[in-house]
Amino acid sequence: MGADSATTHSDRMADDDTAPTDTTSHDGISEVADGVLKITRAVTNCYLVDTDDGAVLVDAGLPRMWPLVLDALRSRRLSPDDLISVYLTHGHFDHVGVVTRLQTDHHVPVHVHPADASLVRHPYRYDREASRLLYPLRHPRGLPHLFRMARAGALRVRGAEVRGDIRAQTPVLGGLVPIPTPGHTHGHVAFHLPDRGVLFTGDALVTLDPYTGRRGPRTVARAATADSAGALAVLAALAETGAETVLPGHGDAWTRGIERAVAEARAAGPQ
């Protein structure tokens, strides 16, 4: 898919959804780094990555992202059967939405850190520091994003049995290096592509928090975070990668370097 066709699909998707308040986080597909397509639906991202080993998906989004995943694959003249692996940054419901479909219909192996394997089985049973119910009252700017996520299937995610075999600093297929970043969840990892200067941060660092509607590099709200102090502490591990391009689980790609992103996230503090 070229840039024009990706924009057309994005426009179609925007027509189907409630207009976003964050106009920089449109639904659709965009090339955000060498050989990396960002797939976005309802301010939630997953990434199709071209590697020497084959095509890899980082995170698995929401259920209604499936048409966009297919479009991204077709743009590379691929099908879901061509994926060699899915690597999950963590097991929350908005990162495992198409896992069951990929496993059942296409026999794609899915991997996660062992500390999050049970969360993938039960993606709504996660530890958090604050009530999800009160956050919309305190942060009404998050409501449009949460509504869009619900329309994209956030309330209907099926759990799955996946391989809990991701190990810290042990490269996986495609040369992705897992960086342990527990805090948002107990088994959260980021993935570093050192040869391309790319870092997939999942929800360890985002550029839009759907719970508060706040933009810019930050950790995710306490309503969805197991240990906010831990989440801030592990930002140091992200900064050590020196990555130039930061690809988060929510929000736009950040191309001003991980060190600056971490500095802004620390300044924002827990929400």
pLDDT for the residue 25? 67
pLDDT at 246 over 70: yes
pLDDT at 5 over 70: no
Domains of the chain: 28-268 (3.60.15.10)
pTM of the model as a whole:
0.90
Chain center to CA of 208: 11
pLDDT at 10 over 90: no
Question: HSE of 88 in the Cβ direction (CA atoms, 13 Å)?
Answer: 37
**Looking at residues 132-151, what average pLDDT do you find?**
88
Q: Contact, 171 vs 116, CB < 8 A? A: no
Q: CA gyration radius for the chain?
A: 17
pLDDT at 150 over 80: yes
pLDDT at 1 over 70: no
pLDDT in tens, 200-222: 999 999 999 999 999 999 999 99
Amino acid in position 269 = G
Q: Which residues of 190-215 are buried (b: 16+ CB within 10 A; e: fewer)?
A: bbbbeebbbbbbbbbbbbbbbbbbbb
d(CA 213, CA 128): 18
